[in-house]
């Protein structure tokens, strides 16, 4: 975990209500895909936790969806602005469990953290399949970017306006055999995958947070292994430890 | 100009009056990953009960202008684990007496938890929380009636010789009556304010944002309320007052002390900035110089007599 100032180098709309932010600064605390940063915004008391989509050298890529006043404020920011970030928060995905043919399944705003994961797994010679699910064609992003990594992409939209019609779980059969899976997305999708998936995997959760670094107990959930803070022992939980509320 | 930031709280010296407040600083060692927490006066650890508590369902946090609401609900591992696991972990990174924050649902529970924590050499003060707004049948129900507050103080006083500081709720009609009730039963100090009970709604779902419905408001929004209540309390009792509520800068610390606080707790600020308390400690000498303060002890309660100025 580190606190530092980053310079905004890009803030572009890439889909409906979805923006990509690139930030230059000290990225050394980011050690695993699936971790997040916590961004301080002028006039907002609490920071905004956003998952890390990519990290290359001193540049972090964040993809976020405008869902409220804080993210709307982020969308208005211009290159050159300085942001106060806490970086390297959360546990992130465990790559050592991937096996030869990992499956990644992301839904909407849950797709971004899977990008760095896909890139690292591909670089490690794994045969990666990614199911990317969105509500509609206007919401789709990063299909090409995942493909460019050499990842096999199965694109779905709930309304069938692009790719396969239906939910992420509907593409599981087509994805075929996999050694382990990693997922991030809205809770209904995570629940559906929990039931529909075979074998073990990892789920990234979202919760309203106070601090983002383990101090306030604001984001605690129950697990098989006792209470866990989503910001600290999470956001990634292994399938075996999840207790649905 | 060399300034003195040392104060004495219930007979125990503090290098400075800055104390991270309970519930915003865990059991301390988490913050030792950010900085050397020995720079602090002390800190008040997470509210501890007899049994382990999961706390309230999520969402537990909501934001508002100038602050936040929380309804964590006293999540903690229970006093036995605090003694056997949390305090030994803390010992590795904090070498000053710590303030043990205690909560309960009965007089017996308050007494038992205080007795166990009082036996720990690391514990300097017991801060008895009778003001948690986020649990039912405990916490604040002891903190809104003078007789109940007196009973908790009496029960705890019997089991410890260490300083007992009773933490009061602002959600009362007359804060001075509460403070005097605790003082009369042997409390060594009063700390205040705990959070103000609040609520926010989700416009789309037409229901509260917090799963608990209500939550405790903290952050800069409550600072003026806290200053007023510290000022009122400090003139009503002879025992020291620990001021808290929305403190976010070295200037706020000075203001709390002028209102009557001997030491100052800082809560919500830690959650937006892990370095908040360290930075306030570092900023304190320069802030003192700006206001011509050589020794913090000279400003404790300085504004108590403003009518006569």
**Fold designation for B7-308:** TIM Barrel (3.20.20)
Per the DSSP assignment, residues forming a β-bridge with A6 are A83
Tell me: pLDDT of B89 over 70: yes
Mean pLDDT, to the nearest integer, of B85-103? 97
Q: Is A144 on the interface with B (CB under 8 A)?
A: no
In chain B, which residues have their Cβ closer than 8 Å to the Cβ of A213? 30, 34, 274
A3/chain B closest Cα distance in angstroms: 8
Do A123 and A166 lie in one domain? The reply is: yes
End residue of a domain, out of A40, A67, A89? A89
Do A30 and A66 lie in one domain? The reply is: yes
Do A114 and A172 lie in one domain? The reply is: yes
Q: How is B95-116 classified by DSSP, letter by letter?
A: -S-EEEEE--SSHHHHHHHHHH
Per the DSSP assignment, residues forming a β-bridge with B20 are B266
> In total, how many domains does chain A have?
2
Instruction: Give yes or no: B132 in active site.
Output: yes
Do A85 and A99 lie in one domain? The reply is: no
Tell me: pLDDT of A7 over 60: yes
Q: Over the stretch B180-236, which tens digit does the pLDDT of each residue have?
A: 999 999 999 999 999 999 999 999 999 999 999 999 999 999 999 999 999 999 999
The token pair that represents B238 in the structure block: 């002879």
Enumerate residues 269 to 298 of chain B having a beta carbon within 8 A of any beta carbon in chain A: 270-275
Q: What is the mean pLDDT of chain B?
A: 95
End residue of a domain, out of A67, A89, A111? A89
End residue of a domain, out of A70, A89, A108? A89
Do A14 and A131 lie in one domain? The reply is: no
| CATH for A78 | 2.40.30.10
Do A104 and A13 lie in one domain? The reply is: no
Do A177 and A76 lie in one domain? The reply is: no
Do A138 and A197 lie in one domain? The reply is: yes
In chain A, which residues have their Cβ closer than 8 Å to the Cβ of B65? 45
A46/chain B closest Cα distance in angstroms: 6
For B231-248, letters b (16+ CB in 10 Å) and e give bbbbebbebbbbbbbbbb
Do A65 and A141 lie in one domain? The reply is: no
Do A135 and A171 lie in one domain? The reply is: yes
Give me the interface pTM, i.e. the ipTM.
0.93
Mean pLDDT, to the nearest integer, of B13-36? 96
Confidence bin at B306 (pLDDT 50/70/90): confident
In chain B, which residues have their Cβ closer than 8 Å to the Cβ of A222? 54
| CATH for A207 | 3.40.50.80
Q: Over the stretch A123-160, which tens digit does the pLDDT of each residue have?
A: 999 999 999 999 999 999 999 999 999 999 999 999 99
Residue ranges making up the domain that contains A41: 2-89
Q: Is B146 on the interface with A (CB under 8 A)?
A: no
Do A17 and A82 lie in one domain? The reply is: yes
What pLDDT shows up at residue A205? 96
The Cα angle at residue B136 between residues A221 and B85, in degrees rounded to 5: 50
Tell me: pLDDT of B307 over 80: no
Do A134 and A116 lie in one domain? The reply is: yes
Q: Are residues B70 and A213, on separate chains, in Cβ contact within 8 Å?
A: no
A219/chain B closest Cα distance in angstroms: 7
């Amino acid at each position: 975990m580190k606190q530092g100032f980053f310079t905004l180098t890009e803030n572009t709309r890439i889909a409906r209500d979805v923006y990509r932010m690139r930030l230059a600064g000290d990225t050394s605390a980011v050690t695993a895909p699936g971790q997040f940063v916590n961004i301080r915004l002028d006039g907002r008391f609490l920071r905004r936790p956003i998952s890390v989509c990519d990290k290359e050298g001193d540049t972090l890529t964040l993809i976020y969806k405008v869902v409220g006043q804080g993210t709307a404020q982020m969308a208005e920011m211009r290159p050159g602005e300085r942001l106060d970030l806490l970086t390297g928060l959360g546990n992130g995905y465990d790559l050592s469990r991937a096996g030869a043919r990992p499956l990644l399944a992301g839904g909407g705003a849950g797709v971004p953290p899977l990008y760095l994961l896909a890139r690292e797994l591909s670089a490690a010679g794994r045969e990666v399949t990614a199911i990317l699910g969105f509500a509609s064609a206007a919401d789709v992003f990063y299909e090409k970017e995942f493909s460019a990594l050499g990842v096999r992409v199965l694109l779905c939209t709930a309304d069938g306006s692009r790719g396969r019609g239906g939910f992420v779980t509907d593409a599981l059969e087509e994805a075929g055999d996999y050694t382990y899976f990693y997922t991030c997305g809205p809770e209904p999708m995570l629940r559906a995958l929990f039931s529909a998936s075979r074998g073990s995997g990892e789920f990234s959760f979202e919760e309203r947070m106070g601090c983002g670094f383990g101090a306030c107990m604001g984001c605690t959930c129950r697990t098989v292994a006792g209470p866990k803070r989503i910001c600290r022992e999470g956001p990634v939980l292994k399938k075996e430890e999840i207790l649905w509320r | 100009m060399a300034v003195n930031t040392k104060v004495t709280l219930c007979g125990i010296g503090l290098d400075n009056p800055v104390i991270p407040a309970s519930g915003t600083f865990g059991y301390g060692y988490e913050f030792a990953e950010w900085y050397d927490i020995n720079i602090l006066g002390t800190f008040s650890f997470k509210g501890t009960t007899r049994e382990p508590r999961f706390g309230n369902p999520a969402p537990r946090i909501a934001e508002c202008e100038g602050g936040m609401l929380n309804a964590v609900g006293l999540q903690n591992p229970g006093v036995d684990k605090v003694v056997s696991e949390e305090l030994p972990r803390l010992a590795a990174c904090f070498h000053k007496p710590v303030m043990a924050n205690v909560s309960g649902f009965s007089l017996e529970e308050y007494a038992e938890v205080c007795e166990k924590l009082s036996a720990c050499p690391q514990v300097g003060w017991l801060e008895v929380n009778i003001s948690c707004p986020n649990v039912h049948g405990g916490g604040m129900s002891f903190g809104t009636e003078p007789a109940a507050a007196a009973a908790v103080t009496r029960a705890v006083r019997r089991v410890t010789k260490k300083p007992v500081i009773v933490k009061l709720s602002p959600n009362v009609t007359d804060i001075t009556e509460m403070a005097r009730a605790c003082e009369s039963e042997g409390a060594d100090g009063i700390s205040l304010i705990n959070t103000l009970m609040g609520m926010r709604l989700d416009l789309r779902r037409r229901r509260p944002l917090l799963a608990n419905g209500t939550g405790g408001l903290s952050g800069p929004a409550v600072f003026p309320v806290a200053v007023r209540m510290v000022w009122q309390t400090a003139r009503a009792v002879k025992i020291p007052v620990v001021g808290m509520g929305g403190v976010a800068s070295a200037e706020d610390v000075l203001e709390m002390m002028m209102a009557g606080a001997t030491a100052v707790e800082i809560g919500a600020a830690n959650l937006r900035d892990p370095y908040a308390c360290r930075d306030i400690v570092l900023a304190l000498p320069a802030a003192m110089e700006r206001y011509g303060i050589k020794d913090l002890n000279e400003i404790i309660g300085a504004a108590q007599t403003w009518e006569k100025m």
